[in-house]
Chains A and B, each alone.
Chain A
Amino acid sequence: MSTDPVTPVLTKRWLSPRSWRLSTYEQLEGYTALRKALAATPEQLVNVVKDAGLRGRGGAGFPAGVKWSFMPPNEDKPHYLVINADEGEPGTCKDIPLMMADPHSLIEGCVIASYAMRSHHCFIYVRGEALHCVRRLNSAVREARAAGYLGQNILDTGYDLDITVHAGAGAYICGEETALLDSLEGRRGQPRLKPPFPAAAGLYAAPTTVNNVETIASVPFIVNAGSAWFRSMGREKSPGPKIFSISGHVTKPGQYEAPMGTTLRQLLELCGGMKDGIPLKFWTPGGSSTPMFTAEHLDVPLDFEGAAEAGSMLGTTAVQVFNETVSVPWAVMKWTQFYEHESCGKCTPCREGTYWLAQILERMVAGEGTVSDIDTLLDVCDNIFGRSFCALGDGAVSPIQSGIKYFRDEFLALCDSNAVNAARGNDERRELAGAHSR
Chain B
Amino acid sequence: MTIAPEQNSDAPEKPPVPEGHVRLIVDGVEITAPKGELIIRTAERIGVEVPRFCDHPLLDPAAACRQCLVEVEMNGRPMPKPQPACAVTVADGMVVKTQRTSAVADKAQQGVMELLLINHPLDCPICDKGGECPLQNQALAHGRTDSRFVDTKRTFAKPVPISNQVLLDRERCVLCQRCTRFSAEIAGDPFIDLLERGAHQQIGVGPADPDSLLSRVDSPSEVTGFTVHGHDGDIAVGDKQPYSSYFSGNVIQICPVGALTSAAYRFRSRPFDLVSKPSVCEHCASGCAQRTDFRRGKVQRRLAGDDPAVNEEWNCDKGRFAFTYATATDRFTRPMVRDEASGELRESSWTEALRVAAAGLLAARGNKGAAVLTGGRLTVEDAYAYAKFARIALHTNDIDFRARPHSAEELDFLSSTVLGATPDNGGVSYADLETAPAVLSVAFEPEEESPIVFLRLRKAARKSSTAVFHIGSHTTPAVTKTFGTLLACVPGAEAAAVDGLAAHAPDVVESLRKPGAVVLVGERAAIIPGLFAALHKLIETTGAKLAWIPRRAGERGALEAGAVPNLLPGGRSVTDAAARADIERSWGLAAGSLPAQLGLDTNGIIAAAAAGQLGALVVGGVDPDDLPDPELAVTALSTVDFVVSLELRPSEVTRRAHVVLPVAPAAEKSGSYLNWEGRRREFGVVIERAGALPDCRVLDTLAVEMDADLFTQTAQAAAGDLARLGAPAAPSPTAALVMDPAAPVAAGTGQVRLATWRQLLDNGSLQRGEPHLAGTARPAIAKLAPATAVRFGITFGGDVTVSTARGSVTLPVLPADLPVDVLWLPENSGPSAVHRVLGAGHGSVVNIGPAPSGATSAGAGAAGSSAAGSSSAGSGATGFRPAGFSAASEGEA
Contacts and interface: CB of A to CB of B under 8 A. Distances in A.
Given A193-B63, A348-B116, A352-B118, A383 B111 contact: yes
Interface in B183-198: 193-194, 196-198
B859 to A, nearest CB: 40
B112 A383 contact: yes
Nearest to A343: B198
Given A340-B198, A344-B197, A387 B62 contact: no
Interface in A119-177: 171, 173
Looking at chain A's contact residues, is the secondary structure mostly helix, strand, loop, or mixed?
Answer: helix
B863 to A, nearest CB: 34
Given A343-B197, A354-B198, A359-B152, A386 B175 contact: no
Given A356-B115, A383-B115, A171 B87 contact: no
B83 to A, nearest CB: 10
B264 interface: no
Nearest to A356: B118
Interface stretch (B65-73, B324-332, B410-418): B65-73
B111 A351 contact: no
A356 B151 contact: yes
A277 interface: no
Interface string B776-795: 00000000000000000000
B463 interface: no
A359 B82 contact: no
B721 to A, nearest CB: 57
A6 to B, nearest CB: 36
B199 interface: yes
A356 B197 CA distance: 15
A345 interface: yes
Interface string A363-396: 1000000000000100110111011110000000
B81 A340 contact: no
A190 B180 CA distance: 14
Looking at chain B's contact residues, is the secondary structure mostly helix, strand, loop, or mixed?
Answer: loop
Contacts of B119: 352, 355
Contacts of A341: 198
A401 to B, nearest CB: 15
Contacts of B702: none
Interface in B47-88: 61-67, 69, 80-82, 87
Interface string A306-348: 0000000000000000000000000000000000111111111
Nearest to A341: B198
B108 interface: yes
B198 A345 contact: yes
Given A188-B194, A193-B62, A386 B199 contact: no
Nearest to A355: B199
A387 B82 contact: yes
A349 interface: yes
Given A355-B118, A356-B149, A348 B174 contact: yes
Interface in B130-169: 148-152, 154
Nearest to B104: A386
A386 B116 CA distance: 17
B575 interface: no
B201 interface: yes
Contact-residue size bin, chain A (C-beta under 8 Å from the other chain): 35 or more
A382 B82 CA distance: 12
A193 B152 CA distance: 32
B114 interface: yes
Nearest to A187: B193
B77 to A, nearest CB: 16
Contacts of A353: 115
Contact-residue size bin, chain B (C-beta under 8 Å from the other chain): 35 or more
Given A188-B193, A193-B87, A383-B115, A342 B108 contact: no
A348 B112 contact: yes
B644 to A, nearest CB: 61
Given A171-B197, A342-B198, A343-B198, A387 B108 contact: yes
A383 B108 contact: yes
Listed residue (A171, A363, A389) with the most chain B CB atoms within 10 angstroms of its CB = A389
B61 A387 contact: no
B716 to A, nearest CB: 51
Contact of A363 (B62, B151, B197): B151
Interface in A70-126: none
Contacts of B197: 171, 173, 342-345
Contact of B201 (A342, A345, A380): A345
Contacts of A188: 193-194
Nearest to B198: A343
A22 interface: no
Contacts of B107: 382-383
Interface string B746-771: 00000000000000000000000000
Contacts of A376: 148
A429 interface: yes
Contacts of B108: 383, 387
Interface in A195-239: none
A229 to B, nearest CB: 36
A360 B174 CA distance: 21
Given A345-B199, A356-B151, A351 B118 contact: no
Contact of A348 (B67, B194, B196): B67
Given A383-B108, A383-B112, A351 B199 contact: yes
Contacts of B67: 348
Contacts of A171: 197
Contacts of B111: 349, 379-380, 382-384, 387
17 contacts: A188-B193, A188-B194, A340-B198, A341-B198, A345-B175, A348-B65, A348-B112, A349-B111, A351-B201, A352-B116, A353-B115, A355-B154, A379-B111, A382-B111, A383-B111, A386-B81, A389-B64
Interface of A: 171, 173, 188, 190, 193, 340-349, 351-356, 359-360, 363, 376, 379-380, 382-384, 386-389, 429
Given A348-B175, A349-B115, 20 more contacts: A173-B197, A188-B194, A193-B63, A340-B198, A341-B198, A343-B199, A344-B197, A346-B175, A348-B65, A348-B116, A349-B112, A351-B199, A352-B199, A353-B115, A355-B199, A356-B118, A356-B151, A382-B111, A383-B108, A387-B81
